[in-house]
Structure 1
């Protein structure tokens, strides 16, 4: 790689010594570095395991000699080889390499609350009995195995019964690592606990209704009961036994069936499927014994949630996009409920949440903002231009970029074929590619990025792609409407290494227009606050001045409301339903007002309005009035005919009188009382009763 230690050091404000063959030949230099106690960044990931072992050995030796406390200097790794140094324009990659090194120096995110799993190794294997017993033979020495038979299979069960066997109709399987619950109905005449597998019942059954899973096919049985007679000693067969609903808990589940127990894309931790060949799954199961922790990835703020008000459902974006079925509606509390044990930390719920009620806790959006700012600022300071951010996963996405870099190095001499990761493309690994949304993407544009691309692989659930496409459509509409030229956002879909040529081609795309001046704001913990900072900066430096930018009808977190004044009665039900304080009343007058900046387009007001007078209008208004309370509708008050006090709107009272005037219960004085305020109505009724009593006397 054509590395220049002096220019890289200038960009990082450090004195750098270049170790060009560090992999093994210069391991001594690495040991000297870690023994200083200062932070060490290794700019290659190929020998990461070796370097970690060397650091641990050096730390143990120092502790044993009582020269230093146990533990070694902070050690981080960053890949500058496949992501830039091994590309056709590697000579121009110094700004990017400096940016990646600066990113590696940032501290780790602050720890957050954790979710704990406890597993004692109680394993349930579901499948054909023969296959289940073969799997149990490979796991029984490490785990406490129970089998649930779903047919005999090709070979049937072994003659020797080594593991408990359950049978019946599975009603449900729920839970997660350490807390799975199986509910089933035991209705078969053969008790598997009593059965000795002597096979006598199979031999005497004239209909062959008993299989090698030792369950009776009741649809084939003709009630000869020869099996009962031959099983008198064991007493395992009883056709008079009542069906029994049972439940049992397990720590782990291995499912051998073609149709899994869980249909969601992200399966619960501790639930694994096996094809009968790969040993990786079995090794993974053997390691799932003990106590485990993971971050509590989400933060939920119920007061900001636009899911439900007044028993009306509004926003369901987080429920619809969750691939782990970890989010559900809690209508009794007018909010959503997240199961932290099922949550896999993809962060997509926070991406699609329009209000910021759902937040990604680890790493926080503010931490990601610091990364973006550091990456882009270092790149620009080092002379880089037209930066394109490439967000990818830490797993499959990182491997694909590694494959692309190695392919470019192999074809480098020919000057044809694979180009590699271009010098202007800055890769950034995420826990999950859908964990960031339009407010952070647009922040990157404000920090100087020309484009932002998201690399998707087969890891992502299908609904993630749809969610990201919706977010990108809104973000692109904002930039295009403000006059920023070019395509700023794109999803790059790559399944495996066979698509490297297409990925290589996509990464050569022409740059889009950047902001005239980079922003200095920081990404905030509050999503809407970040969005407002972004919009203010983009509007201030917009190449085209306009009044309104139209946004897509689906997925927009910005917009206004259109009101049908002829239908609206100013009942103000919408004000009570609005979770974002976008709709407001006026204590001094009969008015309905809207602060457009606050509107999240959740639709609760539309669903709440009894007159169906409201319609959502996705848009970005650039006028100063978007920050102010603008009157949507105003109306003359209706005064009480008895005391003159206003108690409703003219249109509402007239509409009520029109609907009730023909009703038998509202004739004469009863109809007239509808024109009175509540106090006068009571007084009038009381006075009428007294007059009636006097007349009777």
Structure 2
């Protein structure tokens, strides 16, 4: 890479080290002593090389080093590109981000597996793998057809059936199936008596009856005798079992979600996938942990109220089926969550937030990279968000090919790669924050590992974010997706990344823990330096900002919408029949719209940029109706008229319509008085 002593001075200044960074040319071999020297202290050590990460880690361990050691790739991400001579600001940015402390620890999700593996599918696929894995794992097999071959001596539990259902996760799978064949393989002793007795030769050495050949003469049942393995009239056909692991070799996988639970592998008839799954399964014995990737605040959730359903964004987008409906709230199963973060990206209220790393941690990394890049003299930075697995591998391949002297350019000097656990884990709060920090473009690399629903969600969120930026007058395209399955495709896409307008002054705020808190800061900064200052911006459907419209001729001010609103955007007035609204609080969940008995509410997505958004405004009001008995105000005239119209023909109310015109206290008094008078009349008649 084109780094010399002068570059070391420049990097040191950009990173505020107070001294030039040490530059080495053969760090992993002849100059490894330089690493051992700095690793001998207690200060954090950042090694700008990932090629020999294993070597450095082993050397530090041998030396009993206590210094925290981090690694960052500045070679394939910038030093090996056609722009390498301009890549120092990027290198400084990557080094600064690598020096940040690790995210705070979060609660963990624990799995315990004893290695009890169920292999299911056709016999010709299942039995060979059962024999191979039997020495490493506790095997059970569930055969979906008799197939060809021969069942050997009983070395593992053997079942047969269909209509298979699988629930659970690593260490806690519950499998249910239907016992379809008259022969129960777990009872069968393989004595061959049934094979000899069957005149149609409908039973082979897999000990399953071919029901297309069988005429149900029951000779096999008699031959089986007291063993009782054969029953044509079996009534209890539902079977189930508990397993730690599942290898699914069926033609059509039992579980079809994009992100199946950990411990479940679907390989079908693909030999390579079967081998890969077997290698992973063999290592899945013991206790395992993963971070609990999400934080759920039920008080902010806009999913449901009073049995009515509003927002379902998180349920709709989850490809692991880890989120379900639980009354008025949602329920997230931590063991099924794979940490994609898509639910947090689409959540309008911030009830679901990404916990590892938290939004403030990712925001700090983005801010540090962009600030350091600018300080080192970089211009027009673009942020490239990519997955830490396939995305990082694709970038590495591109860097290698660019260095090899081919036609590829490599990662441009202005493009700053940032690895994420999953590319769906960030949303418009962090994207727009990056623009506020000076990013002229934010792009997300899709490498083909993402679920289709995730891609759709990212496209929708990009449309919302870009609409806000364009509405404020910031010219150009700021947000985009890159779809690339090869280094060449990635190279071409990055060379074409747009340079869009940014605020004239970089923001100084830190990303907040809550999504809408961050967006308030971001939009405030973008508006302050915006080329245009509109009062409002029309947003696409599904946006997290908007207003509520009331058809005042239909609204009876029953306040059902107030009781349904989870964000206190809709409020009543204790002094007078009045429906009030604070637009800043509205998340466009639609609960008010679905709850309204008069269908008087519609939603309009928009971003209101004036102070009116923060103020309470009246959507509908009416003069109160006065009790015909005590003149106390209650309800509204329109509400009473509507009730009278609906109940006047009802037998239970037709004779007492005046009570509807009374307040609750007078209604009770009138009912009691009427009951007392009726009782006295009845007594007189009896006398």
Match runs of 1:28-177 below 5 Å: 28-59=33-64, 71-153=65-147, 155-177=148-170
SS in 1 for 2:110: strand
Listed as ranges, the gaps of 5+ residues in structure 2 are: none
2:366 match: secondary structure: helix
Cα displacement (A) at 1:665? 4.7
- Select the residue among 674, 683, 696 that pairs with 2:660: 674
1:66 maps to which residue? none
Work out which of the residue numbers 344, 359, 364 in structure 2 matches 1:370. 364
CA offset digits 1:190-248 (Å, max 9, x no partner): 23234344556446534343244321133431023343455559664344554343322
- Distance in 2 (CA, whole Å) between partners of 1:648 and 1:228 is 77
Cα distance change, pair 447–691 in 1 and its aligned pair in 2 (3 A): same
Conserved? CA contact 2:118–2:142, under 8 Å: yes
Flag structure 1 segments of 5+ consecutive residues without an equivalent: 60-70
Distance 1:665 1:317 in 2: 43
Change (3 A) 1:233 1:646: closer
Q: Which residue of 2 aligns with 1:328?
A: 324
**1:108-507 correspondence to structure 2 within 5 Å:** 108-153=102-147, 155-197=148-190, 199=192, 201-202=194-195, 205-228=198-221, 230-231=223-224, 236-239=229-232, 241-274=234-267, 275-278=270-273, 279-331=275-327, 334-411=328-405, 417-494=407-484, 496-497=485-486, 500-501=488-489, 503-507=491-495
> In the alignment, which residue of structure 2 is the partner of 1:530?
518
Deviates more, 1:121-130 or 1:470-479: 121-130
Instruction: Encode CA deviations 1:356-394: one digit per residue, 9 max, x unaligned.
Output: 111111111111111011111100111111111000000
Distance 1:432 1:575 in 2: 38
User: Is the CA contact 2:159–2:184 (under 8 Å) kept in the aligned structure 1?
Assistant: no
The SS at the match of 2:271 is coil
Structure 2 residue 24 is the aligned partner of structure 1 residue 19: yes
Tell me, yes or no, if the aligned pair for 1:151 and 1:213 is still in contact at 8 Å: no
Q: With structure 1 as the length reference, what TM-score do the two structures score?
A: 0.93
In structure 2, distance between residues paired with 1:113 and 1:487: 39
Instruction: Report the Cα offset of residue 2 of structure 1.
Output: 1.3
- Taking only aligned residues, the RMSD between alpha carbons, in angstroms, comes to 2.0
**What is the rounded CA distance, in whole Å, between the counterparts of 2:125 and 2:333 in structure 1?**
33
Displacement of 1:679 after TM fit?
2.0
Local SS of the residue matching 2:241? strand
| Distance change (3 Å), C-alpha of 1:651 and 1:406 | same
Of residues 448-457 and 402-411 in structure 1, the stretch that sits farther from structure 2 once superposed is 402-411
- Of 602-611 and 502-511, more deviation after overlay is shown by 502-511
Name which of 588, 603, 611 aligns with 1:616. Answer: 603
Find the counterpart in structure 2 of residue 635 from structure 1. 622
Counterpart-to-counterpart distance in 2, 1:125 and 1:310: 44
Residues 49/689 of structure 1: CA separation in 2 closer, same or farther (3 Å cut): closer
Contact 2:441-2:498 at 8 Å conserved across structures: no
Which of the residues 559, 567, 581 maps onto 1:594? 581
Seen in structure 2, the aligned counterparts of structure 1 residues 695 and 144 have a Cα distance that, compared at 3 Å, is closer
* Alpha-carbon distance change, 690 to 232 in structure 1, aligned in 2, over 3 angstroms: closer
**Using a 3 Å threshold, how does the CA distance of structure 1 residues 241 and 619 change in structure 2: closer, same or farther?**
closer
Pair 1:193–1:571, CA change in 2 (3 A): closer
Q: For the structure 1 residues 666 and 152, does the alpha-carbon distance in structure 2 shift closer, same or farther, using more than 3 Å as the test?
A: closer
| Aligned-partner SS, 1:644 | coil
Shift of 1:23: 3.1
Q: Deviation of residue 680 (structure 1)? A: 2.0
Aligned residue for 1:269, secondary structure, equals: coil
